[in-house]
């Protein structure tokens, strides 16, 4: 690789520019007209306006991005997170234009992006999966299917995430109405109305394992991140290591995540997400993100790695620079700011934050 188009904006675009500079690569930034003065434009070696402010006309315009990449003689495209990072069609279009897509292969993106197929893949790899439906539905299935899984149920969008198209159903009387709402929201958000069903566990932790693979058959994990503090199914706090896991559970969860990416022949960065029931000592696979995540610096801080630089190296065909063991130490916490200051000032939340900081410092 010689020149890379950075198909994103903001913090991850700046991070990619720094990696390019460190690896001796030229960076080409794109920006919407609303971002004409954004730092990522000025930091890159070259910058091109991709379109007007609406994301669909700029950062989500796959055809325009490919055209700019080819016209500017780029060898590769870095999607970062969000926008087109997990868009299988975009990855295919990059390959068709002879551009290296700095991320996983098209097949992995497609299979793990379809939530029902992802569950099937995980189960086939021997990974514990949350009890749920074996298919997705665009209209409410019979109550017998819901009762077989067991209430309370969690309705989830097959084609997306981030809490959209998600509903908790406590009983059969609310099932039909909640399904219709979830399906309509999923259609609006992702263009896909399909919903699948999972058993809802009210008292669990949300723990994810950072994984990485290369084209030489190496598949490793870099420990876990605990993202249990959420609001409306959106993560607010990420920390590593998880304060909820004992060592045997931590090891089993990491082994399960590694088994999954090995079964996929997975290449580049990814995250395998689990729910963990501390009262029973059980964990279950819920989904996989086939990209780098916003919270990746938490893992970098405790492992001493540069995951974005590793994405570039692996995409260029190099072997992973770290093995199955790494120098983990200390603790790291990432907070996401929200627009509800009254929530951030809440007494319970403030006590929790203070406790986590004391733990990290000690």
Domain boundaries, the chain: 3-102, 131-199, 205-361
Is residue 291 annotated as a catalytic residue, yes or no? yes
Cβ atoms 212, 307 nearer than 8 A: yes
Cβ atoms 237, 170 nearer than 8 A: no
- Residue 181 forms beta bridges with which residues? none
Tell me the C-alpha distance between 316 and 299, whole Å.
23
The arithmetic mean of pLDDT across residues 203-215, rounded, is: 95
The arithmetic mean of pLDDT across residues 79-97, rounded, is: 96
Q: Confidence band (pLDDT; 50, 70, 90) for 323?
A: confident
Element (H, E) at 37: none
| DSSP-derived 3-state class of residue 222 | strand
**Minimum mean pLDDT range among 113-122, 238-247, 284-293, 312-321:** 113-122
Residue 165 pLDDT more than 80? yes
Tell me the C-alpha distance between 175 and 159, whole Å.
20
Instruction: Output the pLDDT for position 232.
Output: 74
Instruction: Output the pLDDT for position 324.
Output: 67
Residues 6+ apart with CB under 8 A from 70: 97, 99
Cβ atoms 217, 187 nearer than 8 A: no
Residue 344 pLDDT more than 50? no
Residues 6+ apart with CB under 8 A from 275: 130, 201, 204, 205, 206, 207, 283, 284, 286
The residue written with tokens 């569950």 in the block is 119
Residue 161 pLDDT more than 90? no
The arithmetic mean of pLDDT across residues 195-211, rounded, is: 92
Domain 3-102 has CATH 3.30.70.20: no
Residue 146 pLDDT more than 80? yes
CATH fold of 131-199: Dna Ligase; domain 1 (3.30.1490)
Residue 27 pLDDT more than 90? yes
* Of 307, 308, 299, the residue nearest 327 (C-alpha): 299
Instruction: Output the pLDDT for position 153.
Output: 92
Percent of the chain whose pLDDT exceeds 70:
91
Tell me the C-alpha distance between 169 and 47, whole Å.
48
Tell me the C-alpha distance between 207 and 244, whole Å.
9
Q: Confidence band (pLDDT; 50, 70, 90) for 339?
A: low
For 15, the token pair is 């991070």
**Minimum mean pLDDT range among 82-86, 228-232, 270-274:** 228-232
CATH homologous superfamily of 205-361 equals: ATP-grasp fold, B domain (3.30.470.20)
Reported residue count of the chain is 362
Instruction: Output the pLDDT for position 359.
Output: 53
Which is higher by pLDDT, 192 or 345? 192
Tell me the C-alpha distance between 101 and 105, whole Å.
8
Mean pLDDT value across the chain:
90
The arithmetic mean of pLDDT across residues 116-121, rounded, is: 92
Instruction: Output the pLDDT for position 351.
Output: 56
| DSSP-derived 3-state class of residue 260 | helix
Terminal-to-terminal C-alpha distance of the chain: 43
Tell me the C-alpha distance between 329 and 201, whole Å.
31
Buried b (16+ CB within 10 A) or exposed e, 248-274: ebbeebbebbbbbbbebebbbbbbbbb
Instruction: Output the pLDDT for position 352.
Output: 53
Q: Catalytic residue among 9, 291, 313, 356, which?
A: 291
Dihedral angle at the C-alpha atoms of 94, 265, 124, 224, nearest 10 degrees? -90
Dihedral angle at the C-alpha atoms of 334, 340, 345, 351, nearest 10 degrees? -40
Tell me the C-alpha distance between 239 and 22, whole Å.
28
Dihedral angle at the C-alpha atoms of 236, 242, 245, 248, nearest 10 degrees? 140
Percent of the chain whose pLDDT exceeds 90:
71
The residue written with tokens 């991005």 in the block is 65
Tell me the C-alpha distance between 213 and 270, whole Å.
9
Residue 325 pLDDT more than 70? no
Cβ atoms 260, 101 nearer than 8 A: no
> Kind of pairing, strands 100-101 and 76-78?
parallel
The arithmetic mean of pLDDT across residues 94-121, rounded, is: 94
| pLDDT, tens digit, 9 for 90 and up, residues 167-176 | 999 988 889 9
Same CATH fold, 131-199 and 3-102? no
Highest mean pLDDT among 79-88, 151-160, 345-354: 79-88
């Amino acid at each position: 690789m010689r020149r890379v188009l950075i198909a994103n904006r903001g913090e991850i675009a700046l991070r990619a520019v720094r990696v390019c500079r460190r690896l001796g690569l030229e960076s080409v930034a794109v920006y919407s007209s609303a971002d004409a003065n954004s730092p990522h434009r000025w930091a890159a070696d070259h910058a091109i306006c991709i379109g007007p402010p609406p994301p669909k006309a700029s950062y989500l315009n796959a055809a325009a991005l490919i055209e700019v990449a080819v016209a500017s003689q780029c060898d590769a495209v870095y999607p970062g997170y969000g926008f087109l990072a997990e868009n299988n069609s975009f990855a295919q279009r990059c390959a068709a234009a002879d551009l290296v897509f700095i991320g996983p292969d098209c097949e992995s993106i497609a299979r793990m992006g379809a939530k029902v197929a992802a569950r099937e893949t995980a189960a086939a790899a021997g990974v514990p999966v949350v009890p749920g439906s074996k298919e997705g539905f665009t209209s409410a299935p019979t109550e017998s299917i819901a009762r077989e899984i067991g209430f309370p149920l969690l309705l989830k969008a097959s084609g997306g995430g981030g809490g959209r198209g998600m509903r908790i159903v406590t009983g059969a009387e609310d099932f039909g109405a909640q399904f219709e709402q979830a399906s309509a929201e999923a259609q609006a958000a992702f263009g896909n109305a399909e919903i699948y069903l999972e058993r809802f566990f009210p008292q669990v932790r949300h723990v994810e394992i950072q994984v990485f693979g290369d084209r030489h058959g190496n598949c490793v994990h870099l420990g876990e991140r605990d993202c249990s503090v959420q609001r409306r199914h959106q993560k607010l706090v990420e920390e590593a290591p998880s304060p909820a896991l004992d060592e045997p559970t931590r090891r089993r969860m990491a082994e399960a995540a590694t088994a999954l990416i090995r079964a996929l022949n997975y290449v580049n960065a990814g995250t395998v997400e689990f729910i963990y029931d501390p009262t029973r000592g059980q964990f279950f696979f819920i989904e996989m993100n086939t990209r780098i995540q916003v919270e990746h610096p938490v893992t970098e801080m405790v492992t001493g790695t540069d995951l974005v630089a590793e994405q570039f190296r692996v995409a260029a065909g190099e072997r992973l620079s770290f093995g199955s063991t790494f120098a983990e130490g200390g603790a790291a916490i990432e907070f996401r700011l929200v627009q509800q200051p009254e929530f951030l000032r809440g007494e319970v939340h403030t006590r929790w934050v203070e406790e986590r900081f004391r733990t990290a410092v000690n």
